[in-house]
Amino acid sequence: MSITPRHPGEGPDVAVEAAAPTRGNGNGLPSAVAAARAAGQSAQHRQRWLPWVKAVVFLFALSPGLRLVAYGVMDRLGANPVEFITRSTGTWTLVMLCITLAITPMRRLSGMVWLLRLRRMLGLFACCYGVLHFATYVWLDQWFDWASILHDVSGKRPFITVGFTAFVLMVALALTSPHAVVRRMGGRRWQRLHRLIYAIAVLAILHYWWMKAGKNDLAQPAIYAIVVASLLGARVLWALRRRRAQTLAGSSRSPAKSDSTVSRSRTR
Ligand code: HEM
């Protein structure tokens, strides 16, 4: 998700990677590398405030968990504390998922590339709330009755089957989010795997929808469904536009060149 590290192809390091070592600059450094390093350093200098933004976002993401703990301590979890905790953690898993999904569109619309630096943290928070949600179900709701849990997950309660599928995928994305794993997997494979965040969001909506459909109360799931559909729709639209631009660029080049462009774009 993104539960994501830096998007391959974005962020200050890219300039360094993209710079081809050419002629020296007298200091023993290839000039292009030196220029790219200087650009990276000035970007870092300009973004000295980023750790503060990260700290604020971290506290914001932590606050629903802290609120639950405070309510528990003050005995304010209501008449049915298990239901309160299950619903609260479920809601925050979904909210964090939506915010994580919104980062890329917000970056594209605003041009604020630094937003991508928040994505991995937000994705991991989504996963943490998912783990709390699942743990509440297994522990406080089912009291580790594995037979009953297996029944629910394997189809007796379809909304739980769907939620569990989303949860397993989300954990897979969280486990592959460290930089070391990205390097080992390779950017392209990693990116392909992390597109699963869209499938996770759709499954999460289905889980919520199914659960509320039994109670004839679809207003809130409908709002989340619209948000996720818009975020997904924007991505699809941009992908289609990019493909069209690539095709147009390919057809305006020489036949030999356009062949290689097409075969390259197919591997993306
Ligand atoms: C990505 C994963 C998941 C997301 C985003 C998610 C989200 C939600 C949401 C939004 C709710 C409704 C909250 C409300 O009523 O306001 C909910 C309820 C619930 N979820 Fe999940 N969930 C996920 C995974 C799971 C898993 C893995 C399980 C159990 C195996 C589970 C079990 C439940 C249960 C038992 C309820 C409450 C049903 C009730 O109160 O009648 N969820 N979930």
- pLDDT tens-place string over residues 110-152: 999 999 999 999 999 999 999 999 999 999 999 999 999 999 9
Q: Is residue 225 part of a domain?
A: no
Q: Which domain holds residue 89?
A: 13-219
Q: Is residue 228 part of a domain?
A: no
Q: Any bridge partners for residue 140, and if so which?
A: none
| Residue 130 Cβ contacting ligand 1 at under 6 Å | yes
Q: Is residue 206 part of a domain?
A: yes
Q: Token digits for 184?
A: 């080992």
- Does pLDDT of 53 surpass 80? yes
Q: Give pLDDT, residue 195.
A: 92
Q: Token digits for 142?
A: 């089912």
**Span from the CA of 199 to the centroid of ligand 1 (angstroms):** 16
For the chain, the first-to-last Cα distance in angstroms comes to: 19
Q: Is residue 71 part of a domain?
A: yes
Cα torsion angle, 73, 75, 81, 87, sign: negative
Report how far apart, in Å, the C-alpha atoms of 237 and of each of 229, 231, 250 are: 12, 10, 20
**pLDDT mean over 5-16:** 35
**Span from the CA of 73 to the centroid of ligand 1 (angstroms):** 23
Helices (H), 137-157: 146-151
8 Å CB contact between 199 and 170: no
Q: Is residue 187 part of a domain?
A: yes
Cβ-in-10-Å burial (0-12, 13-18, 19+) of 188 comes to exposed
**Span from the CA of 90 to the centroid of ligand 1 (angstroms):** 5
Q: Give pLDDT, residue 260.
A: 47
Cβ–Cβ contacts within 10 Å for residue 22, how many? Answer: 11
**Span from the CA of 70 to the centroid of ligand 1 (angstroms):** 22
Q: Is residue 239 part of a domain?
A: no
Q: Is residue 28 part of a domain?
A: yes
| 268 vs 108, more confident | 108
Q: How many domains, the chain? A: 1
- Does pLDDT of 268 surpass 60? no
| Residue 86 Cβ contacting ligand 1 at under 6 Å | yes
Residue count (the chain): 268
Q: What are the pLDDT digits (tens) for 177-234? A: 999 999 999 999 999 999 999 999 999 999 999 999 988 899 999 999 999 999 999 9
Q: What are the pLDDT digits (tens) for 11-26? A: 333 222 233 333 344 4
| Residue 32 Cβ contacting ligand 1 at under 6 Å | no
Atom of ligand 1 nearest to the CA of 204: 5
8 Å CB contact between 181 and 191: no
In a mutational test of the pocket of ligand 1, which residue from 82, 93, 161, 224 has the highest number of ligand atoms less than 8 Å from its CB? 93
**Span from the CA of 129 to the centroid of ligand 1 (angstroms):** 11
Q: Is residue 258 part of a domain?
A: no
